[in-house]
Amino acid sequence: MFQFIFKKLMLVVPTFIGITLLTFTLIRLIPGDPIEVMAGERGVSPERHAQLRAELGLDQPLLIQYKDYVVNIFHGDLGKSLITKTPVMEEFASLFPATVELATCAALFAVLVGLPAGIIAAVKRGSIFDHSVMTFSLTGYSMPIFWWALLLMLVFSVNLGWTPVSGRLDVTYWIDEVTGFMLIDTLLSGEEGAFASALHHLVLPSIVLGTIPMAVIARMTRSSMLEVLSEDYIRTARSKGMAPLRVIVVHALRNALIPVITVIGLQVGILLSGAILTETIFAWPGIGKWLIESIARRDYPVVQGGIMMVATIIIVVNLIVDILYGVVNPRIRHNK
């Protein structure tokens, strides 16, 4: 097991090198630099421009800049935002809980809806339920997130007035930040109605962000389940005279989950990248919105550091999934 984790970790090294190279070059390929963006339409004199560039260290050759960046990473330093002058790590840490909260709720929505839908669709294959699940999930998968978000907003927030349009909490509440997770903080504050308000704000963004993962999970579960249900050991299970529900839950689902778990793990990447759009649309103060804004401001260290952190999280989650896979599937556990 130890060896297995070590091997996986070694594979991560080239990935990280790739990430630093890509973010470093791509952000610099966008025309304009941070100073021009800050100056805006007023413009800035060439002398002042050069002076500021030197102050920010942008006058150095690219290779030197890259070397400084990588060396700093090894010291655990992701640099400071060019605009706010606060360390990237600090900004990330303060915004990250909001994204985690949203992504977790979206993942819960995706699993809690997608998994049962896929199972029932497989067990009742060919039924109206099966066909509707497949149609909905195909639609959900192919629909652009921003359009789907606007559609839901229009119906549920504007026309029906069931949910708020944006933000994390009604402005009438002021909550001290303890954990950064609004659901927990509102509970801790003891303020009446605050928790309900936080929950209300979460519903639409979670559904929007969770739609694609839900569709993927539902389809994957269905096909995996169908395959398993035709296996010989399912016939053996039925020949023992157990109730159909036990056959499905104990004997089929456990086997069907093996590929589904991998897919759920892969969805974490989609959740974090999807968060960029969803957070922007719902004005959700998380990592996604932060990254988009820093790209617009050419805030090089924030973009580089932020993406590095997001990539780290995705890699860690996938590592956990790999380990989990071994827990569910004895054949893998024993081969290690």
**Site for other proteins, rule CB under 8 A:** 231-233, 235-243, 246, 251, 254-255, 328-331, 334
Closest by CA to 231, choosing from 262, 194, 258, is: 258
Task: Name the minimum Å distance from CB 240 to other proteins.
Answer: 4
The answer to whether 329 touches 258, Cβ cutoff 8 Å, is yes
Q: Distance between CA atoms of 234 and 4, rounded to whole angstroms?
A: 32
Ranges of beta strands (E only) in 239-319 are none
Please, which residue, 191 or 231, has the CB nearer to other proteins? 231
How near is the Cβ of 131 to other proteins at its closest, in Å? 17
Pick 75 or 334: Cβ nearer other proteins: 334
3-state secondary structure of 199: helix
* Cβ-based neighbours of 183, under 8 Å, separated by 6 or more: 101, 195, 198, 199, 202
DSSP 29-82: HSSS-HHHHHHGGG---HHHHHHHHHHHTTTS-HHHHHHHHHHHHHTT---B-T
Q: How far is CA 287 from CA 100, 279, 314, in A?
A: 9, 8, 14
Q: How far is the CB of 330 from other proteins (least distance, A)?
A: 5
CB of 117 to other proteins, least distance (A): 21
Specify whether the CB–CB gap between 12 and 322 falls below 8 A.
no
Contacts with 194 (C-beta within 8 Å, 6 or more apart), sequence order: 169, 173, 175, 186
Give the bridge partners for 80, in sequence order. 87
- Write out the two tokens for 11: 């594979």
**Closer to other proteins at the Cβ: 67 or 336?**
336
User: What are 212's two structure tokens?
Assistant: 């694609």
Structure token digits, residue 96: 């990250």
CB of 263 vs other proteins, minimal distance in Å: 18
91 contact partners, CB below 8 Å, separation of at least 6 = 81, 84, 290, 302
Give the nearer residue to other proteins in terms of CB position, either 221 or 255.
Answer: 255
Cβ nearer to other proteins, comparing 160 with 243: 243
CB of 129 to other proteins, least distance (A): 15
* Residues in Cβ contact with 47 at an 8 Å cutoff, skipping those fewer than 6 apart: none
Contact status, residue 176 vs residue 191, Cβ threshold 8 Å: no
Query: Which is nearer to other proteins, 53 or 238 (by Cβ)?
Result: 238
Q: Closer CB to other proteins, residue 102 or residue 220?
A: 220
Beta carbon of residue 336, minimum distance to other proteins (angstroms, whole number):
14
Distance of closest approach, residue 232 Cβ to other proteins, in angstroms:
4
> Based on CB atoms, which residue is closest to other proteins, 172 or 239?
239
Q: Which is nearer to other proteins, 125 or 200 (CB)?
A: 125
Residue 332 C-beta: closest distance to other proteins, Å: 10
What's the CA gap between 145 and 139, in Å, rounded? 11
